[in-house]
Structure 1
């Protein structure tokens, strides 16, 4: 990647808004994501963070603003200007989406290998041997034993399902990955293992990530920049360590103060 590419934002969000009738989902949100950067969006339930994530990832139509993505050819495109076929291709290749509930991001009744291999087929791979080999390699990268390649996700634990969903998303080497509470609902020990795995993969692959979480410890471990939301609006943003160690807004101060002492 050239220095020019690194200096140019991969994703630009400008005055983004989403309304549900009279109710505000999010409003006036602006930020950028650069190559290799992890941005955490934090806030309590109902703060608008998941609505924001779904709007910028094209899963939910926005009411106002712009979401501009820098394509691999350097062209900047608003995602709402893409055709349905272009959006599908983007979602299968350049983007990933890791759901809180892995069942939402996996095909539960086909094998682990098929879940990973399906993404490869979406980008044109047709050689069965190569698909199976690559799927096996990725299962290894997310710490799933190779002999489980023909097992269905239904036979996996919650932590294993989440790791499989991560492999399915990363096998096509996306440049941008959206994550919605990826450690939510997992036991503390499983969360810690998954976070270590995510941190290593993000660093090794140079991924840009937008992660939604209510857990400030997750945000501190994974992100370089943080956006704090309340009632659909951004109340504070900045470098993660600065926001957590020296919060300026009263709401951020309240969030930080609520973290249990370890």
Structure 2
């Protein structure tokens, strides 16, 4: 990627809004995500952060606003204008999505190696030996033993399933990865190990990441910038350390102080 393109935003959201009947899901949110940047979206339950993630990843259609993405040819394309085939290709190549419940992001009846290899096949890999070798390499990178390659995810612990989901998503070296509470529901020791893994892989691959979390410690560890949401609106944004160490808004101050008091 040229220096000029690297300085341009990878994803641009403009005026995103989404309602669920009388309830506000997301209201007039605009943001930019740059190559190699990790953006954390934080807020308590019901703040709109998951709705925003759904809108950015095109899993939800906005009532208003648009999302544009910079394709590999440098063009900033309106995602609503992409055809179904183009959107599927984007999800298989340039994008990844790590879900809170790994079972939602894996094929639970397909082997660990098959879960990783399936995404390679989706981008044109056809040589079985090469696919298996790449899958084995990626299992090693996420700390899953090579002799588990033919086991299916139902035999894995929660932490192992999440690591497998990460391998499945990153094997095609996407440019943008969405993460929805990736450490939610895991034991503290498992969370810490998983966060270290995510941080090292994100840095190594130069990924742009949008991560939704209610855990401010996760946001501090992983993200460069942070967006704080409340009642569907962005109420504060800035560099992560700046927002957490010197929050401007009373709501953000309350969030930070509640973590410190815990």
Distance 1:86 1:43 in 2: 32
Partner deviation per Cα, 1:168-211 (whole Å, 9 max, x = no partner): 00000100000000000000000000000000000000000000
2:242 is equivalent to residue 253 of structure 1: no
Corresponding position of 1:151 = 151
Partner deviation per Cα, 1:197-247 (whole Å, 9 max, x = no partner): 000000000000000000000000000000000000000000000000000
Q: TM-score, normalised by structure 1?
A: 0.99
Q: Which moved more, 1:73-82 or 1:208-217?
A: 73-82
Distance 2:22 2:3 in 1: 44
Over aligned residue pairs, what C-alpha RMSD do you find? 0.8
Q: Which moved more, 1:19-28 or 1:146-155?
A: 19-28
Shift, 1:26, TM fit: 0.3
Partner deviation per Cα, 1:78-126 (whole Å, 9 max, x = no partner): 1111000011000010000000000000000110000000000000100
Corresponding position of 1:200 = 200
What 5-or-longer segments of structure 1 have no aligned partner? none
Distance 1:83 1:175 in 2: 20
Shift, 1:261, TM fit: 5.1
Shift, 1:21, TM fit: 2.0
Spell out structure 1 runs of 4+ moving beyond 4 A: none
Distance 1:249 1:99 in 2: 29
Shift, 1:22, TM fit: 2.4
2:125 is equivalent to residue 125 of structure 1: yes
Distance 1:136 1:261 in 2: 44
Distance 1:72 1:169 in 2: 18
Distance 2:214 2:5 in 1: 31
Partner deviation per Cα, 1:114-140 (whole Å, 9 max, x = no partner): 000000000010000000000000000
Corresponding position of 1:115 = 115
What 5-or-longer segments of structure 2 have no aligned partner? none
Corresponding position of 2:242 = 242
Three-state SS of the structure 2 residue aligned to 1:25 is strand
Corresponding position of 1:27 = 27
Partner deviation per Cα, 1:1-42 (whole Å, 9 max, x = no partner): 221111100000111111112221001101100000000000
Corresponding position of 1:85 = 85
